[in-house]
Amino acid sequence: MDHSATSKNDAKKVFRKLGTCSRTFFYILNREFGHTREMEEKAADPLAGGILQKGHQCGMLWGSALAVGTEAYRSCTDLDQAIGVAIIATQHVMASFLDMENTINCREITHCDFSSKWSFTKYFFSGRFLYCFKMAEKWAPEAIQSAIDGLEDKNTELPLRSMSCASEVVKRMGASDEEIVMVAGFAGGLGLSANACGALSAAIWMNSLTWNKEHTEKSSFFNPSAKKTLNAFIIATDSEMLCHNICKCRFNTLDDHSEFIKNGGCDKLITALSKT
């Protein structure tokens, strides 16, 4: 079966309708797997533009990671296994994206600093924003296939207990088992890539989901809960965003990250975020 067929030609159309790259790819992959999660997908809006438009990892990757986490939860019988599978599948998706763009960061793709009105105006009126629509259309089939390959990866041996900093955050925030696995791929700066903090994105997503349920007709893109979460994070890390600087290490394997979290790594930050 060609898993990419249904989304190959309409990624731009879906993007225009839903409005953010993060929500678009959460939706597109969910649709391929035969399920949709409207509230959860809307809650991914603040991750667009590289986490609240800060220019970090592309929103397409955050949305895709949420979708593979959702499918990992459905396809695995054990929660620890599902967390591990979600992280490995996220790595497959990120490798596909990096192969296409040679970077995973929004600012390097868009050439835009969204915090600058001049930079955003230039991005919009120069037509650079159209590149993101073209990229979505181009990458959608690859995103789907890499997600499938990652979820079916039999070559990576999982730890007896797979752990994710992102999952720990939402667990302490009262998340369901499915929500815990949904965000698992955010671990270690998204797929253990050591970039902008995955625990932060997980907390933003979880708080946005709660906000969505109370404001069903509104977009969660600039919801106050997301901004408050970011502010708490900035205070806790002294404005440091990158995982490898916060942790003072890089994770070469899922075992490395699982051991780090099991031994109390980032516990103070996880606690601070969970209280938001």
- The closest alpha carbon to 192, from 235, 156, 239, 144, belongs to 156
pTM to 2 decimal places: 0.94
Given a contact cutoff of 8 angstroms between Cβ atoms, the answer to whether 71 and 147 are in contact is: yes
Q: What does R_g of the chain's alpha carbons equal in angstroms?
A: 17
Cα separation, 161 vs 239, whole angstroms = 31
The per-residue pLDDT for 125 is 80
The per-residue pLDDT for 84 is 96
For Cα atoms 159, 30, 158, give the angle at the middle one, nearest 5 degrees. 5
pLDDT averages per 10-residue partition of the chain, 276 residues: 51 94 97 94 96 96 98 95 96 98 96 88 83 95 97 85 96 97 98 98 97 87 92 96 96 96 96 95
205-210 long-range contacts (CB < 8 A, ≥24 apart) are: 205/43, 205/44, 205/46, 205/47, 205/66, 205/170, 206/43, 206/169, 206/170, 206/173, 206/175, 206/179, 207/173, 207/276, 208/42, 208/43, 208/44, 208/45, 208/46, 209/39, 209/40, 209/43, 209/179
CA distance between the termini of the chain: 44
Given a contact cutoff of 8 angstroms between Cβ atoms, the answer to whether 191 and 87 are in contact is: yes
One-letter amino acid for residue 106 of the chain: C
The per-residue pLDDT for 221 is 86
The per-residue pLDDT for 217 is 82
The per-residue pLDDT for 8 is 54
The per-residue pLDDT for 240 is 97
The per-residue pLDDT for 222 is 84
DSSP bridge partners of 105: 57
